C-alpha cells in the first residue's frame, strides 16, 4: 500500500512538473514571439516593394516574404495573423516598406491596405496612340482592352464619341495596384468632360465655335502650335480670327497628324498640297477631330482669347519657343524672312 501510495504521489508530481514545463515553454514561446514581433526585419532593398495580387492568400504573401529574405519562415507572419484573426483581411495592392520594419508594422499595413498608389502621368500634346503605349508600359496597370480596336476601347470605357483622339485629360493620376486600363481611361475621360464643360460654360461670346467638341479641336491645335506658354493666348487669337473670316487655318500640326505613319520628320511642299481630312491648307474650317490631348491652359486660351488683329505668326526659330505675331501678310512675310529664310541662308 505504501509503495502504491508513493507511486501515485510520484505520478502526480510528474504531471504537475510536466504541466509547469508546458506552461514555461508556452511562456517562453510567447516571449520569443513577442520579441520577434518587434524586431527589425532584414529588408532586401531600401525601399522594399511588395505586390499583393488580387485573391492572394496570407500563406502566399508570407511565402513571398520568406523567399525574398524578409522572413526566416512564413509562420513568422502566419502565426500572429492567426492569433489576431486577420488571415483573410489582407488587402491587394503594392506596398512600400523602408527604414525599420517589424512583423507588427508589416502585418498592420497589409491589413489596413496602406498601399502605394500607381502614378500615371498623361502629358499634354500627346496622342491617343501615345496614351496606349504609356499604359502598356505600366506594369501595375492590367491590360484588358488596349489591344482591341479603338471602337471597342471606347465602348468599354463608355465613351459616346466615335473617335478617341483628344478625349482624355492630361494630368497625373493615382490608382491602386492592379487597376485596369479601363479605369484609367474612364478617369481621364471624365476629367476632360468636366473641364471642357466648365470652360465652355465660361466661354467668350461670339466665338466661331458651334460646340464644346469644336472648341476641343481648336484647343488641340493651339496645344501643338504653342512653343512658349505666354504665347498661347495669342496663338489662339490668330486661329479664332481666321475662323471668323473664313480663312483657312493653314497649320502644320494638322497636316502632320493627317499624314500619320507617312510623316518622315519633315514637311515637304507635296505634303501641304496633298489633301486629307486634316490638311488645313487644302480645307477650310476645323479638322474632323482633335489632334492631341489638351491642357487646361489651351482650353482657357480658346474659350477666352484676347482681342487682337493678329492673323499670322512664325517661330523665332532660336530655341526659345516664342513666336512673332503679325496683322498683315506683308508683316508676316518680313518676319519669315527675318527668322526663317535668314537662318537657312
Are both 76 and 145 inside the same structural domain?
no
Closest CA to 325 of 254, 227, 236, 235: 235
Cα→Cα distances 144→78, 126, 185, 245, Å = 33, 22, 12, 46
Angle of CA points 139, 188, 223, to nearest 5°: 110
Are both 68 and 109 inside the same structural domain?
yes
- In whole angstroms, give the CA distance from residue 20 to residue 82: 25
Domain termination residue (choose one: 197, 229, 260): 197
Strands 93-97 and 323-326: unpaired
Please give the full DSSP string across 284-338, using - where no structure is assigned: -S--SS-SS---HHHHHHHHS-------EEEE--SSS--EEEESSHHHHHHHHII
- The number of beta carbons lying within 10 Å of the beta carbon of residue 182 is 18
Domain contains 329: no
Are both 179 and 244 inside the same structural domain?
no
Domain termination residue (choose one: 98, 116, 134): 116
Domain span at 110: 36-116
How would you write the pLDDT of the chain (345 residues) with one tens digit per residue? 555 455 455 556 655 656 655 555 555 555 555 555 568 888 898 889 888 888 889 999 999 999 999 999 999 999 889 988 988 888 888 888 988 999 999 999 999 888 888 899 999 999 999 999 999 998 888 899 999 999 999 999 999 999 999 999 999 999 887 789 999 999 999 999 999 999 999 999 999 999 999 999 999 999 999 999 999 999 999 999 999 999 999 999 999 999 998 888 888 999 999 999 999 999 999 999 999 999 999 999 999 999 999 999 998 877 788 898 999 999 999 988 888 765 554
Rg (CA), the chain: 33
Instruction: Report how many domains make up the chain.
Output: 3
Are both 54 and 105 inside the same structural domain?
yes
**Which residue's entry shows cell 489591344?**
147
CATH of the domain at 94: 3.30.1490.480
Give the HSE-up count for residue 36: Cα atoms under 13 Å, Cβ half-sphere. 15
Q: How far is CA 274 from the centre of its chain?
A: 36
Domain contains 234: yes
**Buried residues in 273-301 as b, exposed as e (16+ CB within 10 A):** eeebebbbbbbeebbebbbbbbbbbbbbb
- In whole angstroms, give the CA distance from residue 321 to residue 230: 10
Domain contains 4: no
Q: Which three cell numbers stand for residue 91?
A: 488587402
- In whole angstroms, give the CA distance from residue 323 to residue 227: 8
Domain contains 188: yes
Closest CA to 122 of 180, 219, 198, 191: 191
Q: Do residues 106 and 84 touch, judged by C-beta distance below 8 A?
A: no
Domain contains 287: yes
Q: Which three cell numbers stand for residue 106?
A: 508589416
Amino acid at each position: 500500500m505504501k509503495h502504491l501510495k508513493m507511486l501515485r504521489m510520484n505520478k502526480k508530481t510528474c504531471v504537475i512538473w510536466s504541466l509547469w514545463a508546458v506552461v514555461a515553454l508556452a511562456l517562453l514561446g510567447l516571449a520569443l514571439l513577442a520579441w520577434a514581433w518587434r524586431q527589425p526585419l532584414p529588408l532586401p532593398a531600401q525601399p522594399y516593394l511588395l505586390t499583393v495580387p488580387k485573391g492572394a492568400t496570407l500563406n502566399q504573401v508570407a511565402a513571398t516574404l520568406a523567399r525574398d529574405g524578409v522572413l526566416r519562415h512564413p509562420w513568422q507572419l502566419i502565426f500572429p495573423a492567426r492569433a489576431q484573426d486577420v488571415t483573410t483581411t489582407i488587402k491587394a495592392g503594392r506596398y512600400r516598406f523602408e527604414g525599420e520594419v517589424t512583423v507588427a508594422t508589416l502585418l498592420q499595413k497589409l491589413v489596413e491596405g496602406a498601399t502605394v498608389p500607381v502614378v500615371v502621368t498623361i502629358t499634354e500634346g500627346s496622342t491617343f496612340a501615345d496614351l496606349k503605349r504609356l499604359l502598356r508600359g505600366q506594369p501595375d496597370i492590367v491590360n484588358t482592352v488596349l489591344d482591341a480596336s479603338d471602337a471597342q476601347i471606347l465602348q468599354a470605357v463608355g465613351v459616346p464619341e466615335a473617335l478617341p483622339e483628344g478625349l482624355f485629360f492630361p494630368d497625373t493620376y493615382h490608382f491602386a495596384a492592379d487597376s485596369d486600363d479601363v479605369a484609367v481611361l474612364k478617369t481621364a475621360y471624365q476629367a476632360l468632360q468636366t473641364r471642357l464643360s466648365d470652360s465652355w460654360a465660361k466661354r467668350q461670346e461670339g466665338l466661331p465655335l458651334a460646340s464644346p467638341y469644336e472648341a476641343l479641336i481648336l484647343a488641340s491645335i493651339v496645344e501643338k502650335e504653342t512653343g512658349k506658354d505666354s504665347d498661347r493666348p495669342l496663338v489662339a487669337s490668330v486661329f479664332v480670327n481666321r475662323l471668323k473670316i473664313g480663312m483657312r487655318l493653314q497649320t502644320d500640326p494638322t497636316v502632320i497628324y493627317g499624314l500619320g505613319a507617312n510623316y518622315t520628320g519633315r514637311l515637304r511642299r507635296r505634303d501641304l498640297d496633298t489633301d486629307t481630312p486634316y490638311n488645313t491648307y487644302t480645307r477650310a474650317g476645323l479638322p474632323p477631330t482633335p489632334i492631341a490631348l489638351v491642357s487646361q491652359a489651351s482650353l482657357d486660351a480658346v474659350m477666352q482669347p484676347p482681342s487682337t488683329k493678329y492673323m499670322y505668326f512664325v517661330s523665332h526659330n532660336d530655341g526659345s519657343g516664342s513666336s512673332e505675331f503679325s496683322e498683315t501678310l506683308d508683316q508676316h512675310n518680313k518676319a519669315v524672312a527675318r527668322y526663317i529664310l535668314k537662318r537657312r541662308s
